[in-house]
Chains A and B, each alone.
Chain A
Amino acid sequence: MTQEERHEITLVVNGVARQARVPARRLLSDALRHDLGLTGTHVGCEHGVCGCCTVLLDGEPVRSCLTFAVTVDGRELTTVEGLAGPGGMSPVQRAFAECHGLQCGFCTPGFLCTVTAFLRDNPSPTDDDVIEGISGNLCRCTGYQNIVKAVHRAAELMAEESE
């Protein structure tokens, strides 16, 4: 069998332009983890159900396991590694820690990326908004109650910090 063709791509990940040579079938999740060494993005189901691999593509949360890396050549990505600012963890990350919004942590990178974009678009959500917002992310530890609390707490922290 002939060698599979590889494509030169550039992904701007967390503000840094990174190059990779990948076959067209390389999932974005695998490109981040295996080609770029960013293992913060987790891979659960690989068919779009669990939400663990959610990253931000030009600011919008998407499933990296349902995206080919070649499709997003040249685009900007934010992974869980890019959520913290120079001053430390982001409000969403702090709220998850404070409210015990995680146990094993496997689903957490996907939740953090999803919630970061969700609160940017909806800074003071109702309970129903939160449940709809995180409905595409599965957590097998927490029973979600503390995650919902963490989202509300993150909204509070963001409101306090923007004053």
Chain B
Amino acid sequence: MKPPPFTYHAPLDLGSALDALAGAGARGKVLAGGQSLIPLMNMRLASPSHVIDINRVPGLDTIEDERGGVRVGALARHSRVERSGPAPLRRALKLVAHPVIRNRGTVVGSLVHADPAAELPAVLAVLGGSVRLASLGGVRDVAAADFFVGPLESDLRAGELAVSAFFPGLPPRSGFAIHELARRHGDYALAGVCAVVTLGDDGRIAAARAACIGVAATPQLVELEGGTPAELARAVQERTDPEGDIHASAAYRRHLVGVLAERAFTDAAREAAQ
């Protein structure tokens, strides 16, 4: 349970961080909060030759309003975003691990870790957000739909640093909700659903989106037109095909997706009406 040896880089600015990452190539890992990376290293599931610790890089600890949403920097800790971030993130973060873990963990780190059972990738997906990746070659923004590639796998390439993520705000007459079921509070969920609904002029749901947690290799996005929460939940259930494991059977997960989706659509519609 001790991490393997590595060469440590503690850059003091973004340029030096990108230089170190470029030098390390595929054998380099970025250390921000470390709440996913260090357990993996302690258990020797990860053994990067180079660790680039960005904790001393100024300018990354940001939560800034930007046209149409909020941009969260790579060193914004869960706990700070939970206090002063946008409402959907604040609510989702209450479900992420425990308060002490959230004091160190970062929002962008959770996105890059790309755990299919984690909440934040689903929030980014349902809001239609993006991740900004910087390298010596320049900067690119990758939409959530393209960023999550597989379980624990993102579109981040060797030499790239995820410097921020953009979470769009909700359109008018819209609401957000997240529901999940975990065996123990703070654990990864057996299944979960993030929902965004938009109401029409008649007060009924005109459009709905759901991102499912823990049912596919990446946060599974389902886009629907109008309907009642029950109808929409059935549609989500029909379009998902969760797998079973030691924690829950496929049938149970499928059942959960339906129940949680209906709750999420109902709550999101209630919020949208307010």
Spell out A's residues near B (CB within 8 Å).
4-5, 7, 23-25, 27, 30, 46-48, 51, 54, 57, 60-63, 65-68, 70-71, 114, 118, 132-133, 135-137
Contact = CB atoms under 8 A, between A and B. Distances in A.
B171 interface: no
B2 interface: yes
B7 to A, nearest CB: 7
B7 A24 contact: yes
Nearest to B79: A60
Nearest to B187: A49
Given A63-B101, A71-B10, A118-B99, 9 more contacts: A5-B8, A25-B3, A61-B100, A63-B100, A65-B42, A70-B8, A71-B34, A133-B99, A136-B98
B6 interface: yes
B1 A47 contact: yes
Contacts, number: 90
A47 B35 CA distance: 9
Nearest to A72: B55
B101 to A, nearest CB: 6
27 contacts: A24-B7, A24-B8, A25-B3, A27-B42, A30-B2, A46-B1, A54-B100, A61-B99, A61-B100, A62-B104, A65-B42, A66-B35, A66-B38, A67-B38, A67-B104, A68-B31, A68-B51, A68-B53, A70-B10, A70-B53, A114-B100, A118-B99, A132-B185, A135-B185, A136-B100, A136-B101, A137-B100
B103 A60 contact: yes
A33 to B, nearest CB: 13
A48 B35 contact: yes
Nearest to B35: A66
B25 interface: no
Contacts of B3: 25, 27
Given A24-B7, A68-B53, A71-B31, A51 B42 contact: no
Contact of B42 (A4, A46, A61, A71): A46
A114 B102 CA distance: 13
Contacts of A65: 38, 42
